[in-house]
Structure 1
């Protein structure tokens, strides 16, 4: 839902608009809260709407196509919160079916004037919806293959390229949903001394251990953990405020203490973590990264092995 615009989906909406002589055609995907239009041939509709307020949600929940001759008078839409605000009257939509029991969203066409729902030919719309669903499945497969090719071989974590893409998506999500996104930078303390005293093979072993430790921490599907360079790791936390980010960071520090990895200079291997959070339209990737970096510097200056945070 937060991916960049894609011409493959725009072709489908253009075809749907031409076939049905529609004023509006769009592909909308849903998650638990929102419908997001990933392809839209006009500015007549907003790109994002709460899922419960979307006419398309009726199709998603039923898994069946729907044709409405007149949105203003159809009894199925009586009391619908969005309909009174629409200037469009005719609506037809088909589900994007990924699996028998999984509907990802809809392909819809709309017109300014009412139409005859009884004579409407759903065939082309269903075919185009199937094409769109296949394109989404192919896009997902390509993304998974790309992630495999962009995995850090030492730690098994995504590398910097995957992180950069995920970071931009998280920022777009925060802007779209008006939620808070948090970002953690995690840096192994005194790593140069570890390499100098015990050799790079030992350094690699510690990096691998750190990767396994971070990977074992509980994460949600949208969270992204990556090794972004040297002894530095990053964790992107969409829909997470500063208090939630602190809980995650403190959990990482506690797990590292429990792991009791011996440092050749004496004591145990520790890490410093810097965090930052931003909300909604104010979210900016470069500002959020800079704020977390400054917080990491403060954690180092404050004695290492601790968490510090800043406003993004």
Structure 2
């Protein structure tokens, strides 16, 4: 729904007063798809409305008696804003237009654009309103479709195309939001960064299509861990994944990291590549910020946890390394 005054260049000229107008003007007005109308300001009664209104909305031409009929046949969600706007603009003598949903006789709704011209008498007082109703349903449908496509494209831009989980761009945006939220709320914030062990050797042994399938299975397992609406699991790049866990303390985050390891082990994805164990495993970095300091940054936190991941790699892989420097060994699956 939109309401706005018309610029001077867009103001329509008022039609002739139809009952006294030559037949040619009446024929021209009633042969257009736009619906002409006129309202007497003093009585708030329709002096005229085109017969096209019955074709469009189903209401007979002579059923449009007063402004109340126009108001009653407007969608309840549009009624207050549109009526208040049109009345205020008309009283001020300002030409205007408004979009709203008009009720059809069979109970549906049609999007209407009403273009209104204010007619003044010799004394400068408002005498009448004249205008045209336009069916803009197709235009509204097209606009909504474009908005839907835009939302879909935006979603695609935030989704990893291979795994269907969030991508790095989405994670970066969410991290900044949650970092600032943690600073305001003094709630903890945790990260789990995970990298598959010997993944290059996996691709060498099984091929890249098998590698893609492996990543998809890992993503599915990790998605099940991000249970709350604000939890994020994202593909961080290559074979690296990350979990963003707002309002999650160190103990709870440790349990979730252990669950990551368990779920990956339960997949029993055969590895057997050079230097690797029988099944695919992962190394994890884990960190929790109990209270976000004013001078700290989300990037610093991320880099610190990422450093824990690489510490786990150096320490033998298939393990969890925490930001505090403690490590949890995991037996080879």
TM bin (shorter chain): 0.5 to 0.7
Which residue number corresponds to residue 228 of structure 1? 236
TM-score (norm 1): 0.52
TM-score (norm 2): 0.49
1:203 aligns with 2:218: no
CA displacement, residues 127-158 of structure 1 (integer Å, 9 cap, x when unaligned)? xxxxxxxxxxxx9x977762333211111111
Distance 2:206 2:170 in 1: 31
Aligned length: 177
How many Å apart are 1:263 and its aligned residue? 0.3
1:277 aligns with 2:288: yes
Which residue number corresponds to residue 320 of structure 2? 307
Distance 2:285 2:227 in 1: 18
Conserved in 1, the CA contact under 8 Å of 2:188 and 2:290? yes
1:238 aligns with 2:251: no
CA displacement, residues 49-93 of structure 1 (integer Å, 9 cap, x when unaligned)? xxxxxxxxxxxxxxxxxxxxxxxxxxxxxxxxxxxxxxxxxxxxx
Conserved in 1, the CA contact under 8 Å of 2:286 and 2:309? yes
Query: Whose radius of gyration is greater, 1 or 2?
Result: 2
Please list every run of 5 or more consecutive structure 2 residues that lacks an aligned counterpart in the other structure: 1-83, 86-146, 326-333
Conserved in 2, the CA contact under 8 Å of 1:147 and 1:162? no
User: Are the structure 2 counterparts of residues 142 and 183 from structure 1 closer, same or farther at C-alpha, using a change threshold of 3 Å?
Assistant: farther
Partner SS state of residue 280, structure 1: coil
Partner SS state of residue 260, structure 2: helix
Select which of 170, 175, 183 maps to 1:162. Answer: 170
Distance 1:192 1:300 in 2: 14
Please list every run of 5 or more consecutive structure 1 residues that lacks an aligned counterpart in the other structure: 1-122, 125-138
CA RMSD, 1 decimal: 2.6
How many Å apart are 1:171 and its aligned residue? 0.4
Which residue number corresponds to residue 179 of structure 1? 187
Distance 1:174 1:249 in 2: 20
How many Å apart are 1:170 and its aligned residue? 1.0
Which residue number corresponds to residue 199 of structure 2? 191
